[in-house]
Chain A
Amino acid sequence: MRLVPFRYTLRSLVVRWSPSLFSALGIGLTVAVLGGVLALREGFKALLSDTGSDDVVVYLRPGAQSEGESIVRYPVDTNVLKTRPEVALDASGTPLAAAESYLGLKLDRTDGTGTTIVTVRGVELPASLRIQGPRWRVVEGREPTPGSDEVVVGKPLTSRIKDTTIGSTLTFNVTPFKVVGIFENDGAYSSEIWGDVDRICAALERPFRQRFVAKLKPGTDVAAIATELETDKRVPVKAQTEKAYFAAQTTALGGVLGFLAGILTSLMGAAAVLGAVNTMLAAVGARTREVGILMSVGYRRFPVFFCFLVEAAIIGLAGGLIGAVLVLPFNGLQTSTTNWNTFTEIAFAFRVTPSIIVTSIGVALVLGILGGTVPAWRASRLVPTAALRRL
């Protein structure tokens, strides 16, 4: 079956550029919102899931979904865990393992808009830092001294949270802690405050730890350990790699953002489709006589239908490109939100990935085609003689 020449479709679009452009803009804005929310979710997921390590194991209480709801008995359990065969040793034969505390504390924002919950992590010094390796590094000041009331602050927090610059003092409960350094981390720890676990637990009156972490010996089968420890009579714990743990932390907020993307796209998409329907109905109306000409010359219904559908698809595609251009500047933009799994503040950057761009353009194309289907069908059902009479 012969189709209506593509140049006819393209030139008709150019001639009617104004309504076509506005329709494309409507679709573009829709997919820009979609792309923006997806980029937000991607940035959040990347922060938590792409940066955890496969050679670090996290032990939590069985059934705990996050550190916040986990308790590891100290020192009963932690002493046992340090002797586990999968735990790597450093050059001096000391286990690369640490029992850590985790608590969200309300701290004042620098901009005076109230308080937010920030993660304060008690770590074993220097074991916790050695487990993290180069992914965790002090970029300003120094590491806290073991056994001291000193903390280091994640860099993104320094601009958001009051009293987090070097030399400032943060008071936990009634104990003042001095900020001695700023650190960076390529992952989920970047928005935390770290200090000596014994001192922080003493200040916060916490006689237990939230998690146990250890560097794994090469070639360790984590799944086998997990199965073994789940039913261990002495220290029943849930073991998983750090990467798997963080991936699981994206479920709540990631799910909400995914839902939000779906809702916003559906509502705005419906409006954009109506816009495209309107544009294409006007296009068919304005070119009814041309449809009559095509039919009189011998073009069948399907080529006429397809011709207008392609026109709508081009509008959708243009909308997709507009959306991509609108959303691209957000790439790398820093933002912060509450991690709904831990209810602590977390800072991360929008990530506009190639797959988000492809998804946005794909959705735009679908919106365009949806908007064009009814008008194209109407065009293809025109009676040639009636169409030719139309002025």
Chain B
Amino acid sequence: MATGPETLARMRGITKVYSRGGQDVRVLDGLDLDVGSGELLALMGPSGSGKSTILNLLGGLDRPDAGTIEVGDTEITRLSSDELAGWRARHVGFVFQAFNLIPVLTALENVELPLLLTPLGKKQRREHAEYALELVGLKDRMDHRPKQLSGGQEQRVAIARAIATDPTMVLADEPTGDLDRASADAVLDILSRLVAEHGKTIAMVTHDPAAARRATRTLHLEKGVLVEQGTTSHA
């Protein structure tokens, strides 16, 4: 399949099989998917449809059983585990439903965690981390540990961590799933702003229709197959 110049990530013929209870479950079966540069892509669908698997594969956290994944000029399906880790550090920022902050580190230190993998010096790392926290409106909470923050604040710190290294794309797995409506809206505001004002590419798995409405494109999955595509103009 030819890809346009705006295409950032290309998944071709992706098959992923999990073994559950001794039985093989084919979560993705020959999936093709492009992610455009600068888009906020929402992946929707019932549980078990393969949404999170797509994110994990796109972010190099998991490997497909068949098919290829290219992000930019790199075919990540050819990389070794350690090469993939290095690639993740440079190109991907993850946001998880459960926030996944390191509890013993402060907000600033959590955001600094991926920056430690860059060649930046100590002062620059701190500046980058503070800037990222400022973008999510939490600079005044940077010395707080995760336990001292609300769920919404934790997720905003997680977003700051995801964007601190200025990655090629941000992958968000149910970013509003554990949040109340107000907190969820605040998080969605930030994600929308990152796309609209900073040109970030975000792929987001969600069950939340309000989140999907913020997307520039929405894909529906059912049993590992794309069944419907839609575009919105809200981002």
Chain A residues proximal to chain B, CB less than 8 Å: 2, 5, 7-8, 11-12, 14-15, 289-290, 292-302, 383-385, 388
Would you call B81 an interface residue if the criterion is a C-beta within 8 Å of the partner chain's C-beta atoms?
Answer: yes
Q: Which residue of A lies closest to B145 (CB)?
A: A11
Kindly provide the distance from the CB of B122 to the nearest chain A CB, expressed in whole angstroms: 11
Task: Assess whether A297 is in contact with B161, with CB atoms less than 8 Å apart.
Answer: yes
CB contacts (< 8 Å) of A5 on chain B: these are 109, 113, 116
B175 touches A (CB below 8 Å): no
The residue that A384 contacts in the complex, of B61, B102, B114, with Cβ under 8 A, is B61
Of the candidate stretches B5-13, B42-50, B88-96, B222-230, the one touching chain A is B88-96
Contacts of B56 in A (CB 8 A): 385
A-B contact pairs, 12 of them (CB 8 A): A2-B117, A5-B109, A7-B109, A11-B105, A293-B101, A293-B102, A296-B61, A297-B117, A298-B114, A301-B81, A301-B82, A388-B96
Please indicate the chain B residues that have their CB under 8 angstroms from the CB of A298 in the complex.
85-86, 88-90, 92, 114, 117
Q: Which 5 A-B pairs have the closest CB atoms?
A: A298-B89, A11-B104, A300-B85, A298-B88, A297-B114
Is A299 touching B104 in the complex (CB atoms < 8 A)? no
Extra contacts, 19 of them, besides A290-B102, A298-B85, A298-B88 (Cβ < 8 A), are A5-B109, A7-B105, A7-B109, A8-B104, A11-B105, A12-B104, A15-B104, A289-B100, A293-B100, A294-B102, A294-B113, A295-B61, A297-B114, A298-B117, A299-B85, A300-B81, A302-B82, A385-B61, A388-B61
Contact residues in B for A299 (Cβ distance below 8 Å): 85, 89, 117
Tell me the chain B residues, 135-153 only, with Cβ under 8 Å from chain A.
none
Identify the interface centre among B61, B89, B90, B103: most chain A CB within 10 Å of its CB: B61
Q: CB within 8 A of B86: which of A7, A12, A300?
A: A300
B62 and A8 contact, CB distance less than 8 A: no
Complex CA gap A299/B82 in Å reads 8
Q: Which residues of A contact B113 (CB under 8 A)?
A: 5, 294, 297
Is B38 part of the contact surface with A, judged by Cβ < 8 Å?
A: no
How many angstroms between the C-alpha atoms of A297 and B59 in the bound complex?
Answer: 10
Do A296 and B116 touch (CB < 8 A)? no
**A311 to B: closest C-beta gap in Å:** 12
Q: With A7-B109, A8-B102 known to touch, is A296 a contact of B88 (CB < 8 Å)?
A: yes
User: For chain B, which range describes its interface: under 10, 10 to 19, 20 to 34, or 35 or more residues?
Assistant: 20 to 34
**Most chain B CB inside 10 Å of its own CB: which residue of A15, A292, A294, A384:** A384
**In the complex, how many angstroms separate the beta carbon of A15 from the nearest chain B beta carbon?**
6
Our pick among A11, A296, A300, A383 for the contact of B94 (Cβ within 8 Å) is A296
Return chain B residues, CB-CB under 8 Å to A302: 82
Interface positions of B from 65 to 85, Cβ below 8 Å from A: 81-82, 85
Q: A286 → chain B, closest Cβ, in Å?
A: 11
Residues of A within 8 Å of B102, CB to CB, are 8, 290, 293-294
* Distance to closest chain A CB from B128 (angstroms): 14
Chain A residue at smallest Cβ distance from B94 = A296
Which of A290, A297, A299 has the largest count of B CB atoms less than 10 A from its CB?
A: A297
Distance of B196 from chain A, by nearest CB (Å)? 26
Chain A residue contacts of B94, Cβ below 8 A: 296-297
CB distance from B103 to the nearest CB of A (A): 8
CB distance from B101 to the nearest CB of A (A): 8
Write the chain B residue with the least CB distance to A292: B100
Partner of B62, one of A294, A300, A301, A385: A385
Bound Cα distance A13, B85 (Å): 26
Q: How far is the CA of A14 from the CA of B113 in the complex (A)?
A: 19
CA distance A8 to B113 in the complex (A): 10
A11 / chain B contacts, CB cutoff of 8 Å: 104-105
Chain B CB count within 10 A is highest, among A289, A300, A383, for A300
Task: Return the chain B residue nearest A383 by Cβ.
Answer: B62
By the criterion CB–CB under 8 Å, are A8 and B114 in contact?
Answer: no
Assembly CA distance A298 to B61 (angstroms): 10
Cβ–Cβ < 8 Å partners of B59 in chain A: 296
A121 to B109 CA separation, bound complex (whole angstroms): 74
Give which listed residue, B62, B88, B104, B109, contacts A297 with CB less than 8 A.
B88
The chain B residue sitting closest to A384, CB to CB, is B61
B221 CB to nearest A CB, Å: 18
